[in-house]
Amino acid sequence: MVALALLFVAGGVWLSTSPRAFQAGQDSAGVHVDGITLTRVVSSTARSQVFTGAATLVIDMESSGVVTAAAVMTWNGLAATGRCVLRRTIADVVETCVYALGSNRLASSDRFSPRTRTWYREYSDGVAVNITVPRGSTVIPVPFPLGR
């Protein structure tokens, strides 16, 4: 009985320290963020796209290849904003993000793995999450405080 209890405790510790998993990406229907779909506003331009739904998201593509995204939403009952800057290099894709959740401020550093199609995000307070980009979806900046 003690062995079984220790096994459950170890499993609980593993679950509480494992990064939580989410999904985000863009396809022809819009931007999908963990089950929520934001639809593209018709007046979007080639360099700037606007999406609306449960949140408002703007994605801007600069001529240098840098992609920025900003989102405004209500998150867990709090007014929230997020802003990410995505940079592609020969070796990898990274983004840095800042968030405001009510009066709380956070930042994250995210690294994308093309092999697993996953963003590995670590927040400034040490919380880590994984964000998978589904097959058929485009990799975009993810200015949503997933896992918070």
Concatenating the DSSP letter of every residue in 35-85 gives: TEEEEEPTT--SSEEEEESSEEEEEEE-TTS-EEEEEEEEETTEEEEEEEE
Averaged pLDDT, 26-44: 92
- Residue 3 predicted with pLDDT over 60: no
- Residue 70 predicted with pLDDT over 50: yes
Which residue type, as a one-letter code, is found at position 106?
L
Place of tokens 């550093």: 109
- Per-residue pLDDT, 43: 72
The CA distance from 55 to 74, in Å, is 7
pTM to 2 decimal places? 0.84
